[in-house]
Structure 1
Amino acid sequence: MAAQAGARPRKELTNAFVVAGGRVLLGMKKRGFGEGKWNGFGGKLQQGETALEAAQRELLEEASVQMLDPQLVGRVTYTYEDMQEELLVHVFRATRWTPEEPRESEEMKPCWFALEDIPFANMWADDEHWYEHMLGGSSFFTANFAFAKDHKTILQHDVKLDPLSKTSQ
């Protein structure tokens, strides 16, 4: 479960995915938090930036891809036993993008995966709990995950669904 409001400082981040034709674009994190894991593309919001602006900027910086139809599809809140900050991640999905093929950056190595071949064994432990909702697109999801100090063990979690609507934006 998420910490009570005001109990921890909150850092806002984004996670952006391109999903089309039975595949999803993921990136192998080459450095920093999450190094060695497959993930969506994203990071921290900069001063004065909206979550959408940050998602677009991060995907462009990390994979040289621009989302043409970004949609906010979920929000995930993370707490870790060894971190003071709570992380709030705004999850975006696009089904149209340019250019056709992504490019590797210093931080991420992009790769397309068939939806039935998503490498969950080499991803964050929580991903299996909410990816189907990000990929499916018919419901807006909110999720909360509390992780142990090892950043692998999920202590508590919940995922809630609401019909996808403009009010979710």
Structure 2
Amino acid sequence: MIFIETLVYIVRDNKVLLIRKKRGLGAGLYNGVGGKVEEGEGIVDAAIRECEEEIGIKPMNLRWSGLLEFWNYEDDKVESVHFVHVFITDSFDGKPIETEEAEPLWFDIDKIPYHEMWEDDKLWLPKVLEGKSIYGHFDFIRWKLTRSEVYELKPTE
């Protein structure tokens, strides 16, 4: 199965807003806010919708910060492929609230709990939080990281 998804990171005052997922893939782990792009939906629209659904805020001025590919293998075959568009912003309407899906928490950027996140996050998230754009390719076997590549994208002139 192939999925197109989004992740949003909100950064303010040297802090980043993460969620502790309560259900689904990655339940119990910290992550950005996001999820699947629905059929016929734009990527930015999906990122905004997911933030509204998961934590009750409407992000504004989203800046595209990268594309991540996650390939998950089981029994020597591809089980799923996830193409995830990453966004960053410092502005939003509303107040983050806890929902059935997620608990939002602010973390100092130098105290992000990478040990309670997906294995790959520590390889690319610091670059995004520094304002860089990235491309990452990650191979997993049963969602255990086996190979990774991360590249910084250079701005075009």
Tell me the TM-score normalised to structure 2 length: 0.93
Which letter does structure 2 place at the counterpart of 1:141? I
Q: Partners of 1:84 and 1:36 in 2: how far apart?
A: 22
Q: Partners of 2:9 and 2:24 in 1: how far apart?
A: 20
Q: Partners of 1:118 and 1:164 in 2: how far apart?
A: 27
4+ residue segments displaced more than 6 Å: none
> Which residue does the alignment assign to 1:115?
109
> Which residue does the alignment assign to 2:44?
52
Q: How does 1:135-150 map to 2 (within 5 A)?
A: 135-137=129-131, 139-149=132-142
> Which residue does the alignment assign to 1:155?
146
> Which residue does the alignment assign to 2:87?
92
Give aligned pairs, total: 154
Which letter does structure 2 place at the counterpart of 1:140? S
Question: Between Structure 1 and Structure 2, which shows a larger proportion of strand residues?
Answer: 2
Unaligned runs of 5+ in 1: 1-8
Q: Partners of 1:163 and 1:52 in 2: how far apart?
A: 22
> Which residue does the alignment assign to 1:4?
none
Q: Does the Cα contact within 8 Å between 2:73 and 2:80 map onto a contact in 1?
A: no
Measure how far apart 1:47 and its partner are: 1.2
Measure how far apart 1:98 and its partner are: 1.7
Q: How does 1:11-90 map to 2 (within 5 A)?
A: 11-82=3-74, 83-90=78-85
Deviations 1:134-168 (A, max 9, x none): 1011x32100000122x23x211101112346x9x
Which letter does structure 2 place at the counterpart of 1:84? E
